[in-house]
């Protein structure tokens, strides 16, 4: 394993360098694989997962250096992910209603961080919001421009050229666990939000009952995830960044049945082929199926002081 591709870090929430190993490394050889880092990445977690002995936060350590990961995202082409664009727009319309209910005002300016192909921005623009977004993948950004007519900033939230206090709402859908330094991302969100602005975050909850049931087979233990939050550690991270948590709730997503079975094949192998073939023959492959495997949505408000 090329050691120069890896780094050792401290806890991103409390800064402690004391931790216990949950899962040891399962890497047999080599570092990052070509195409490993993309929106639909489904390679099982191979690097060591540890838990901070001070605050309980779970994170990968040692881990691949962020520059390698970001380069992977920048160059990613992901036809698999965009095949579900219509399904994601439908999911995001439901999410937006929850956000708007917490916002309680007329639509304003919204920023979606790590927007992928822009499906949330499409839903938000249709609902009357003034939308902005950022995404490392140049290919995804071009797909968004061609299909939705929305221009997004190439890169991360730190490439957003906007003054502090520019946005009413910022969203991070399936993003925070991918970022190499979520503490600074949340602090940047706080600065970009107006006083009283909202932050909506969706993340896979490593403390959920289904996670405990599935163990290391939990589908969100992935090589593309640096960090693993529970409700406790998510609340702690948000409060440290200047947010007040308003609500936490299970987050249900809807995707086509055939796509769900296709993604499941990474875990059950050839067993997924039979039901895929059956549902395709019955014309049910495109059926919209809501699913939950521990995903959690949290809405927080930037503190007034």
Nearest-angstrom CA–CA distance, 279 and 262: 12
In this structure, what are the phi and psi dihedrals at residue 7, rounded to the nearest 5 degrees? -140, 155
Residue 273, SS3 per DSSP = helix
Look at residue 95 in the predicted model and tell me its pLDDT: 94
Residue 110 confidence (pLDDT) above 60: yes
- Span 208-257, pLDDT tens digits: 999 999 998 898 999 889 999 999 999 999 999 999 999 999 998 877 66
Residue 116 confidence (pLDDT) above 90: yes
Look at residue 35 in the predicted model and tell me its pLDDT: 45
Residue 141 confidence (pLDDT) above 60: yes
- Inter-CA distances, 69 with 113, 193, 204, Å: 17, 27, 20
Q: How confident is the model at residue 282 (pLDDT cuts 50, 70, 90)?
A: low
Strands 193-204 and 167-173: what pairing?
parallel
- pTM of the model as a whole: 0.89
Mean local confidence (pLDDT), 95-117: 96
Tokens of 67: 């520059």
In the chain, the domains with their CATH numbers are 3-74 (no CATH), 79-252+293-302 (3.40.50.150)
């Amino acid at each position: 394993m090329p050691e120069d591709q890896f780094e050792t870090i401290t806890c991103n929430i409390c800064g402690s360098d004391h931790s216990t190993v949950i899962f040891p490394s399962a890497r047999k050889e080599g570092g990052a694989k070509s195409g490993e880092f993309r929106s639909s990445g489904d390679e099982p977690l191979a690097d060591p997962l540890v838990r901070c002995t001070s605050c309980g936060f779970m994170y990968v350590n040692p881990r691949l250096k962020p520059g390698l990961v970001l380069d992977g995202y920048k160059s990613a082409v992901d036809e698999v992910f965009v095949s579900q664009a219509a399904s994601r727009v439908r999911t995001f319309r439901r999410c937006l209603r929850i956000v708007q209910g917490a916002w309680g005002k007329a639509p304003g300016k919204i920023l979606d961080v790590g927007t992928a192909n822009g499906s949330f921005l499409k839903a938000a623009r249709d609902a009357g919001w003034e939308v902005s977004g950022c995404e490392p993948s140049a290919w995804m950004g071009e797909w968004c421009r061609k299909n939705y007519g929305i221009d997004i900033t190439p890169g991360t939230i730190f490439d957003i050229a906007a003054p502090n206090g520019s946005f009413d709402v910022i969203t991070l859908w399936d993003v925070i666990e991918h970022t190499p330094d979520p503490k600074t991302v949340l602090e940047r969100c706080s600065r970009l939000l107006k006083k009283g602005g909202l932050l909506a975050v969706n993340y896979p909850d490593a403390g959920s009952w289904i996670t405990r049931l599935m163990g290391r087979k939990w589908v969100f233990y992935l090589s593309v995830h640096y960090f693993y939050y529970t409700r406790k550690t998510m609340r702690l991270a948000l409060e440290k960044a200047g947010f007040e948590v308003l609500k936490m709730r299970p987050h249900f997503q809807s995707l086509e049945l055939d796509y769900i079975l296709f993604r499941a094949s990474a875990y059950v192998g050839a067993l997924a082929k039979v039901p895929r073939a059956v549902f395709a023959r019955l014309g049910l492959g495109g059926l919209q199926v809501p699913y939950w495997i521990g995903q959690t949505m949290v809405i927080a408000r930037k503190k007034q002081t």
